[in-house]
Amino acid sequence: MTLLLLTTPLYLPKLIEKRLQQAQAEALQSAGEALARVNDWLSGFEVIKNFSIEQQIMRRFRAANDAAAEKLLREAQLGAMAQLITTLISYLSFFIILACSTALVLAGDFSTGDFFVAIGLVDQLSYPLISLSGIIRQLVAVRPTCAGLCTFVHAQGTEERSSMPMQREIRFNHVGFAYQPGKLVLSDFNLVIEKGKRYLLKGPSGCGKTAAANLLLRYYDAGSGSITVDGVPIGQCGNTYGWITVVRQEATLFRDTLRNNLTLYREMEDSALVDMLRKVGLASLANRAALDAMVEDHGANFSGGEKKRICLARALLRNTEMLILDEPLANLDDETAGRIEALLLSIPDRTLLVVSHQFSEKNLARFDAVMELAG
């Protein structure tokens, strides 16, 4: 009876499991949205100052912060209420056991010494069980979040990444895709990408060029049709990051040395880094002193063209079987864009997929296929 009564509080978190999980999910979502907004505002700091909208942004910041605080408060209130109920149940159980022990003493089945020993043991046991109930409540609340995180981590595992590299071709077969229901970005899209060849997807903004690349990277699943790698559905090919390197329009550099930005902490000879920097037209950085120099936040100590070329050098150094370059010529002057074009078209033994709307007409013939999307 003692064990039954004292362990009763441990079952409470299971009874309110859905409410705990919903409160936890809402708190995490609200905090994530607030952080995303702050990140956007910090990225657009110059625009905010230039348009003198600091007060409006501060109002939105306070609103987002208050919303996140409210969700966190609700979660804390639910936890406090559960803890209060747990404690009350525990003390009620204690008093029931106390009453039963007193009855046993009066009936002559317990001595006074037995009574105090029993009550002392029950008292010592109740506090750990109350604490354990609180831990169980927290575990129950975060279980869906942890399960999702574990799924993500296992999906990004190194072993799975390199499980099925392309040997012959990638085939888009009548693919349809929409970011939002009813608003197709791609419709009946067909494309065969053969290993070792160069392809260009061109067309106006919003026509689906980047969406096709994102489907290949498995950021999204096709709404209709199929994407296969050597005849195998792409969903069965593990994570395509293992054999694909992508370079986006916005250059991403970390606050670290230039060397670490190029190698991303892999072991590489400086001679290979210097040679690659020269190939991408960054001879001024092709020395040990420059490699040891720090890259400031977001690469603030480099021009836009230099940042793009550093990211391209990093991608080429990785030496994967396929390269995807998303708008590699955006925001570059004509001379730099011409150098990048020449470099891309001179890359040997790689499957190249370029997504761009501004590749020069004179170089289009050097692609094995050019597909123009109209949207």
At 210-267, the pLDDT tens digits run 888 888 888 888 889 999 998 888 888 777 778 888 888 888 888 889 999 999 888 9
Q: Report the SS3 class of residue 164.
A: coil
What is the arithmetic mean of pLDDT over 282-308?
A: 89
In a domain, 163, yes or no: no
- Chosen domain end from 120, 154, 188: 154
pLDDT band at 294 (very low <50, low <70, confident <90, very high): very high
Give yes or no: residues 138 and 189 share one domain. Answer: no
Q: What percent of the chain stands above pLDDT 70? A: 95
The answer, yes or no, to whether residue 287 has pLDDT greater than 90, is yes
* Arithmetic mean of pLDDT, 114-133: 81
Give the torsion sign (CA, 356, 360, 363, 365). Answer: positive
- Structural domains counted in the chain: 2
Residue 299 lies in a domain: yes
Most confident region among 89-98, 111-120, 271-280, 366-375 by mean pLDDT: 271-280
Per-residue pLDDT at 161 exceeds 50: no
Mean pLDDT over 129-144 rounds to 81
C-alpha separations of 218 from 57, 215, 241, 242, 372 in Å: 35, 5, 9, 12, 22
pTM: 0.62
| Confidence category of residue 164, pLDDT binned at 50, 70, 90 | low
**Same domain (yes/no): 53, 191:** no
DSSP code for 368: S
In three-state form (DSSP H/G/I as H, E/B as E, the rest C), the secondary structure along 47-108 is: HHHHCCCHHHHHHHHHHHHHHHHHHHHHHHHHHHHHHHHHHHHHHHHHHHHHHHHHHHHHHC
Q: How many Å apart are CA 361 and CA 366, to the nearest integer?
A: 10
CATH at 42: 1.20.1560.10
Pick from 338, 190, 43: nearest CA to 199? 190
What average pLDDT does range 192-209 have in this prediction? 87
Average pLDDT over the chain reads: 84
* Residue 150 sits in the same domain as residue 183: no
CATH of the domain at 237: 3.40.50.300
Residue 284: per-residue pLDDT? 92
Domain assignment of residue 162, yes or no: no
pLDDT per position as a tens digit, 4-60? 777 777 777 777 888 888 888 888 888 888 888 888 788 777 678 877 888 888 998
Q: How far apart are CA 225 and CA 32, in angstroms?
A: 34
Question: In terms of residue numbers, what domain contains 124?
Answer: 2-154
CA–CA separation, 121 vs 2, rounded Å?
10
What pLDDT score was predicted for residue 319? 83
Same domain, 108 and 174: no
Instruction: Among 105-119, 131-145, 266-280, name the most confident range.
Output: 266-280
Among 154, 177, 201, which residue terminates a domain?
Answer: 154
